[in-house]
């Protein structure tokens, strides 16, 4: 019997559209001979929809799919039912495995994973803790540095400074000057995309950058801007042991940060098929001029961070290289990367198609669920009070 | 002849299909006119007599007397063709029809009315056999705009009841949450001041400010019900008015603790009748601010200053640039660049050097108003100045964009002469090769409209190498203005926006700048595409 695999996409974050593009890619990549894939579109109000129309990207243009041709559903209450209960009068739909492809807030941060855990569902990808920690750049840095992975130094500025007058506007520039100097990058602590990221050359720009972050997030991270920098990304798949992919180097037009539009809207040079999203960004796979030692370090550090956070599914771990010093730094982890970073598995030594990889991850998700179900839930005598 | 009666259902269905399409088309304009019958009728004029559907019905009715079968086929085929050829107002035009619940209700009732009336008229012609429904169709296609008005009128009691219920709910929410309400009114600059004040105050305390131009009782009611939650400390409400009493009703819904009056001038003069009437309408906000409450007023605007002087028991704070008054905030040293504006704010407590990515003198003045209010409610001025750097230009409101070597000054949402001049000033200050202006001019200025547009045309001629005057609305005034400037050859008249862009595409080169100033609603363009696709 083919198992029903529900791919969840959309959501309420800034990356709603990216999630739709990624989700549809994954939906079409699920092996239809082994599984019965189905889309679940989660709209901006976090209502869940199913229906045939949701298979097509065209349906999502101009305000999203026609709700009249879709059925609203909700995850059935009750642990272990793993059922989609229609809000109207249709029949419930049983789902074997969920694949959340929801980037950013309410999707990549453990929220949706928590909901699936409450339902006792099998799902592909990281659990609540790894997702939540992976979403928070400050927490990720702490975990990574604890695991002896090199990180870029940082300062953190919480939104509550706004409640305490304007001293912070002098204190933070002073801290920057005392620690790593100008210029700096100011970025939101909890967002997955490049939204709200600025480069600041002086105190005024940095303060404005922090305020800009506070439009999106409650915490800003300040890091030194590495002038001559390269980015290297590595994906890790959580199979029986975490496996690192080849490295990739996103190519930017300037020596600046990869901006949101560059990440998601540009045509690819080595992209696979007619995909979009992160798979469509300009990149070089397995750059030949990257020293073998650095490549190996990136792959080793990637699996270390993946394991330290307790990730599952596919994560993409991003590194920065200070080209002047030849130093590699862990930058951030995406526990639900765009397109599940499938383009990183198509090269040597793996040559895995996303379809094969998904099948393995679906199997593993079911095994993990079964394992969790098997955990002892019967309270010991001292806790049986009633 | 009786043998034709089986065709009746086909004729009825055909008529109903085309009538529904036409109602949909008219509804867009009825909605754009705020469901006001007289304004809508002024737009309709004799338009429905030009509807090919009317002529098709008349033609088919006459043909019926000589070739009945052919007439029926012609009518059915023609009506289906016209219905399909008509552009869908929900997805075309500058302001597409939004099928809100209200619009849907009006459309549904109008469709029922048009069917009932058609049956009534058909029965009146019953002796003439199937010629009757054809003549009834002809009448109906002429009367459809009136049917829409009647449908709307029949729904008034229901709409009022719904609105009252929503208002009560919103009022209760305001009373529970108790935000510090800042009302903003003025003839221009309300939306931008609201957006800027909301942006600045969010760094002080949780603030609710509606996006866009929500400024009507219904819009604000909905906004409160959807978005106001416990924890909001400030609520910034834009208060628009087309007649006296509008702002008073808004103030009853959201009693303001403070008010900002941006500028009082001749915007919507046509609707108000006189400047005094506008001043009285805008005074309603000041009246609603309690004694001792904050009233932040643009002293550069004589009308606004008049209001400030009438309410001496309020705590009046003035801001401005040129006013000789004793100002709480004075704007000085404005310098524009492609990146934004650098300026100084002088207050009794200190002088602040500011930068913002926004452009345009009126915008900077509005920002000074927002600064004055934010500082007066306890926000740290240094934080306000820092937050000014994070303001983002609103799309099409003096937004400067570089695209393939061409500088676009997009100011399509501006619709007043001051904004118009501000865009010219910014364009003049940017180092570019040639400057082009595309605009239909400004409207709703009553008897002053010609003179104002002539003056703007003259000023544009001094700044721009070529001006494209779009549509016939203000064409004569622009021609007069350019003639006075001795630059008739520098004016090009185009029928619509599409043509303007076509002309620009063929003409502009790297290093040029284009100002897109004001974009009239479809109502003011002749080829807006009611029955046919716009050319």
DSSP letter string over B365-377? Answer: HHHHHHHHHHHHT
| Residue numbers in B near A204 (CB within 8 A) | 355, 386, 389
Q: Which band of pLDDT confidence, cut at 50, 70 and 90, is reported for residue A243?
A: very high
Between the alpha carbon of residue A296 and those of residues A241, A299, A317, B66, the distances in Å are 17, 5, 14, 91
Token output for A77: 């209450």
Do the chains contact at A169 and B202, CB–CB below 8 Å?
no
CB contacts of A214 in chain B (<8 Å) are 202-203
Q: How confident is the model at residue A171 (pLDDT cuts 50, 70, 90)?
A: very high
Conformational region of residue B32, where left means phi above 0, alpha means psi within -120 to 50, and beta covers everything else: alpha
Chain B contact for A207 (CB, 8 A cutoff): yes
Q: Is residue A212 within 8 angstroms of chain B, CB to CB?
A: yes
Q: CB–CB of B202 and A215 under 8 A?
A: yes
Residue B269's pLDDT band (cuts 50, 70, 90): low
Count of residues in chain B: 535
Exposure of B203 by Cβ count < 10 A (0-12 exposed, 13-18 middle, 19+ buried)? buried
Give the residue, A234 or B94, on which the prediction is more confident.
A234
Chain B, nearest residue to A203 by Cα: B386
For the ranges A159-163, A278-282, B295-299, the lowest mean pLDDT is seen at A278-282
pLDDT computed for residue B233 by the predictor: 94
What is the token pair recorded at B95? 């302001």
pLDDT for the residue numbered A276: 42
Quick check: B203 and A165 CB within 8 A?
no
- What letter does residue A102 receive in the DSSP assignment? -
Chain A residues near residue B203 by CB distance under 8 angstroms: 162, 211, 214
Segment A45-50 shows an average pLDDT of 93
B411 exposure class (CB count in 10 Å sphere: 0-12, 13-18, 19+): buried
The minimum CA-CA distance between A167 and chain B, rounded to whole Å, is: 10
The distance of A282 to chain B (nearest Cα, Å) reads 21
Nearest chain B residue to A163, by CA: B204
Query: How many Cα atoms sit within 13 Å of A143 on the Cβ side?
Result: 24
Distance CA B380, CA B384 (A): 6
Contacts with B378 from chain A: Cβ below 8 Å: none
- Helix runs in B263-301, H state only: 269-272, 275-288
**Could A208 and B380 be called an inter-chain contact, meaning their C-beta atoms sit closer than 8 Å?**
no
Q: Which residue has the higher pLDDT, B530 or B306?
A: B306
- B455, pLDDT greater than 80: yes
Burial B8-39 (b: 16+ CB within 10 A, else e): eeebbebbbbbbbbbbbbbbbbbbbbebebeb
Residues from chain A that touch B386, judged by Cβ atoms under 8 A, are: 169, 204, 207-208, 211
Q: Name the pLDDT band for A265 (thresholds 50, 70, 90).
A: very low
* Cβ neighbours of B355 in A, within 8 Å: 204
Average pLDDT of the segment spanning A353-370 = 93
pLDDT of residue B272: 63
Q: What does the block give as tokens for B519?
A: 């974009």
- Rounded Cα gap, residues B60 and B81, in angstroms: 15
Question: What's the longest Cα–Cα distance across chain A?
Answer: 68
Confidence band, pLDDT 50/70/90 cuts, at residue B491: very high
Chain A residues in contact with B380 by the CB 8 A cut-off are: 165-166
Question: In this predicted structure, what is the pLDDT of residue B188?
Answer: 81
Rounded alpha-carbon distances, angstroms, from residue A378 to A81, A383, B351? 19, 10, 70
Q: Count the neighbouring beta carbons within 10 Å of the beta carbon of residue B196.
A: 27
What are the φ/ψ torsions at residue B273 (nearest 5 degrees)?
Answer: 100, -45
Looking at residues B204-231, what average pLDDT do you find? 86
Q: For residue B386, give the chain A residue with the closest CA.
A: A208
Let me know: does B404 contact B421? Beta carbons within 8 Å.
no
Cis preceding-peptide flag for A183 (omega within 30 of 0):
yes
**B205 to chain A: nearest residue by CA?**
A163
In whole angstroms, how far apart are CA B445 and each of B71, B216, B269, B427, B474? 49, 21, 5, 25, 11
Least Cα distance to A218 among A194, A196, A185 occurs for A196
* Contact call for B389 and A208, based on CB within 8 A: yes
Say what the pLDDT of residue A266 is.
39
B386 and A169 within 8 Å at the Cβ level: the answer is yes
The per-residue pLDDT for range B459-472, each reduced to its tens digit, is: 999 999 999 999 88
What would the mean pLDDT of B152-158 be, rounded to a whole number? 94
CB contact (8 A) between residue B389 and residue A162: no
The pLDDT > 90 percentage for chain A reads 60
What mean pLDDT comes out for the span A271-280?
40
Separation CA B185–CA B291 (nearest Å): 18
- The H or E element spanning position A199 is strand A198-200
The rounded distance, in Å, linking the Cα atoms of A15 and A276 is: 14
The lowest-confidence range among A298-302, A307-311, B43-47 is B43-47
Whether the pLDDT of residue A273 is over 70: the answer is: no
pLDDT of residue A274: 35
Q: What separation in angstroms does the CA of B283 have from each of B213, B219, B305?
A: 20, 21, 11
Strand intervals (E) in B245-321:
258-261, 294-298, 315-320
More confident call, B505 vs B329: B329
Alpha-carbon distance of B232 to B178, in angstroms, equals 8
Contact of B523 with B89, CB cutoff 8 Å: no
- What confidence score (pLDDT) does residue B521 get? 57
Name the closest residue on chain A to residue B198, using Cα atoms: A215
| Residue A208 to residue B390, Cβ atoms within 8 A | yes
CA of B201: which chain A residue's CA is closest?
A: A162
Look at the block and give the residue holding tokens 């935000």.
B179
Interface touch A211/B382, C-beta < 8 Å:
no
Mean pLDDT within B421-433? 89
- pLDDT confidence bin for A277, thresholds 50/70/90: very low
Closest residue, chain B, to A204 (C-alpha): B386
d(CA B433, CA B509): 9
What does the DSSP 8-state code read for residue A151?
B
**ipTM for the whole complex:** 0.76
Assess whether pLDDT exceeds 90 at residue A311: yes
What does each C-alpha distance from A99 to A11, A102, A161, A313, A344 come to in angstroms? Answer: 13, 9, 39, 10, 19
pTM: 0.77
User: How confident is residue B273, by pLDDT bands cut at 50, 70 and 90?
Assistant: low
**A338-352, B71-85, B249-263: least confidently modelled range:** A338-352
- Distance (Å) from the alpha carbon of B386 to chain A's nearest alpha carbon: 6
Does B390 sit within 8 Å of A215, measured CB to CB? yes
**Mean of pLDDT over chain B:** 88
pLDDT of A105 reads: 86
The per-residue pLDDT for B379 is 94
Q: List the one residue out of A197, A223, A195 whose CA is nearest residue A209.
A: A197
What residues of chain A lie within 8 A of the CB of B389, using their CB? 204-205, 207-208, 211
Taking residues B337-344, report their average pLDDT. 92
Which range, of A248-262, B110-124, B382-396, averages the lowest pLDDT?
A248-262
CA–CA separation, B7 vs B74, rounded Å?
13
The partner residue sitting opposite B386, judged by closest CB among A62, A165, A207, is: A207
Confirm or reject contact between A349 and chain B (CB < 8 A): no
* A169 with B382: Cβ contact below 8 A: yes
Asked if residues B343 and B332 have their Cβ atoms less than 8 Å apart, the reply is yes
Shortest CA distance from A209: residue in chain B = B390
Provide Rg for chain B, Cα atoms.
27
For B396, left (φ over 0), alpha (ψ -120 to 50), or beta? left
> Three-state DSSP class for B329?
strand
Which residue in B10, B28, B179 sits closest to B95, CA to CA? B28
Mean pLDDT of chain A: 87
A191-227 in b/e form (b: 16+ CB < 10 A) is bbbbbbbbbbeebbbbbbbbbbbbebbebbbbbbbbe
pLDDT at A348 over 80: no
CA distance A192 to A263: 12
Which of A277, A225, A218 is CA-nearest to residue A250? A277
């Amino acid at each position: 019997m083919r198992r029903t695999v529900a791919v969840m996409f959309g959501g309420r974050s800034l990356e709603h559209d990216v999630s739709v593009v990624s989700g549809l890619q994954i939906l079409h990549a699920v092996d239809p001979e082994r599984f019965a894939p189905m889309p679940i579109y989660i709209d901006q109000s976090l209502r869940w929809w199913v229906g045939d129309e949701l298979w097509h990207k065209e349906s999502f243009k101009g305000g999203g799919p026609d709700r009249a041709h879709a059925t609203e559903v909700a995850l059935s209450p009750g642990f272990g039912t793993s059922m989609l209960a229609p809000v109207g009068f249709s029949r419930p739909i049983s789902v074997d495995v969920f694949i959340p492809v929801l980037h950013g807030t309410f999707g990549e941060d453990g929220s949706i994973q928590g909901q699936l855990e409450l339902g006792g569902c099998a799902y592909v990808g990281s659990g609540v803790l790894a997702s939540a920690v992976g979403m928070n750049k400050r927490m990720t840095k702490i975990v990574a540095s604890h695991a002896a992975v090199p990180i870029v130094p940082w300062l953190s500025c919480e939104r509550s400074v706004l409640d305490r007058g304007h001293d912070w506007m002098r204190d933070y520039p002073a801290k920057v000057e005392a620690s790593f100097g100008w210029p700096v990058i100011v970025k939101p602590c909890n967002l997955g995309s490049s939204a709200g990221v600025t480069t600041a050359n002086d105190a005024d720009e940095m303060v404005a950058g922090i305020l800009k972050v506070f439009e999106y997030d409650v915490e800003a991270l300040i890091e030194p801007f590495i002038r001559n920098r390269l980015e290297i990304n590595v994906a890790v798949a959580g199979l029986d042991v975490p496996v690192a992919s080849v490295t990739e180097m996103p190519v930017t037009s300037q020596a600046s940060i990869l901006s949101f539009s560059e990440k998601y809207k540009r045509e690819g040079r080595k992209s696979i098929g007619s995909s979009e999203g992160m798979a469509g960004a300009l990149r070089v796979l397995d750059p030949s001029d990257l020293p073998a030692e650095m490549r190996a370090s990136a792959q080793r550090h990637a699996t270390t961070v993946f394991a330290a956070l307790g990730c599952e599914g596919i994560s993409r771990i991003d590194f920065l290289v200070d080209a002047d010093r030849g130093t590699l730094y862990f930058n951030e982890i995406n526990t639900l990367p765009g397109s599940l970073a499938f383009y990183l598995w198509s090269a040597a030594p793996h040559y895995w198609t996303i379809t094969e990889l998904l099948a393995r991850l679906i199997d593993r998700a079911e095994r993990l669920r079964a394992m969790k179900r098997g955990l002892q839930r019967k309270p010991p005598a001292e806790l049986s009070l009633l | 002849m009786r043998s034709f009666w089986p065709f009746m259902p086909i004729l009825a269905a055909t008529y109903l299909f085309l009538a529904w399409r036409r109602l949909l088309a008219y509804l867009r304009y009825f909605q754009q006119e705020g469901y006001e019958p007289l304004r809508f009728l002024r737009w309709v004029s004799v338009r429905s007599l030009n509807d090919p559907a009317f002529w098709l019905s008349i033609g088919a009715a006459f043909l019926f007397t000589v070739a009945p079968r052919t007439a029926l086929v012609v009518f059915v085929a023609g009506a289906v063709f016209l219905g399909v050829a008509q552009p869908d107002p929900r997805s075309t035009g500058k302001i597409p029809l939004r099928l809100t619940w209200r619009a849907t209700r009006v459309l549904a009732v109008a469709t029922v009315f048009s069917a009932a009336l058609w049956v009534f008229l058909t029965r009146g012609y019953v002796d003439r056999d199937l010629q009757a429904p054809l003549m009834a169709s002809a009448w109906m296609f002429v009367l459809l705009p009136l049917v829409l008005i009647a449908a709307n009128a029949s729904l008034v009691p229901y709409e009022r009841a719904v609105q009252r219920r929503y208002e009560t709910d919103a009022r209760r929410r305001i009373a529970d949450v108790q935000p510090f309400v800042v009302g903003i009114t003025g003839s221009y600059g309300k939306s931008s001041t609201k957006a800027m004040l909301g942006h600045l105050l969010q760094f002080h305390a949780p603030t609710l400010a509606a996006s866009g131009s929500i400024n009507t009782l219904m819009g604000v009611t909905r906004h409160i019900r959807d978005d106001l939650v416990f924890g909001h400390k400030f609520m910034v409400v834009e208060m628009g008015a087309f007649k006296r009493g509008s702002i008073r009703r808004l103030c009853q819904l959201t009693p303001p603790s403070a008010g900002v009056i941006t500028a009082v001038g001749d915007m919507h003069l046509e609707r108000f009748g006189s400047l005094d009437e506008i001043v009285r309408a805008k005074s309603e906000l000041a009246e609603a601010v309690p004694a001792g409450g904050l009233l932040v007023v643009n002293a550069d605007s004589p009308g606004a200053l008049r209001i400030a002087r009438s309410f001496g028991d309020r705590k009046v704070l003035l801001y401005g640039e040129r006013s000789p008054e004793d100002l709480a905030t004075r704007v000085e040293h404005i310098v524009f660049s492609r990146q934004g504006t650098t300026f100084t704010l002088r207050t009794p407590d200190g002088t602040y050097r500011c930068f913002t990515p926004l452009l345009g003198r009126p915008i900077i003045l509005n920002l000074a108003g927002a600064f004055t209010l934010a500082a007066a409610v306890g926000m740290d001025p240094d934080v306000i100045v820092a937050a000014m750097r994070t303001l983002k230009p609103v799309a099409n409101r003096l937004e400067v964009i570089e695209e393939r070597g061409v500088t676009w000054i997009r100011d399509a949402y501006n619709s007043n002469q001051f904004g118009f001049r501000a865009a010219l000033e910014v364009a003049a200050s940017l180092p570019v090769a040639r400057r082009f202006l595309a605009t239909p001019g400004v409207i709703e200025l009553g008897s002053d409209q010609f003179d104002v547009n002539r003056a703007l045309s003259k000023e544009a001629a001094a700044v721009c190498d070529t001006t494209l005057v779009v549509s016939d609305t203000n064409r004569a005034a622009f021609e007069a203005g350019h003639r006075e400037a001795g630059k008739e050859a520098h004016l090009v008249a185009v029928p619509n926006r599409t043509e303007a862009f076509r002309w620009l595409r063929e003409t502009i080169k790297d290093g040029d700048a284009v100002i897109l100033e004001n974009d009239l609603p479809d109502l003011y363009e002749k080829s807006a595409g009611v029955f046919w696709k716009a050319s």
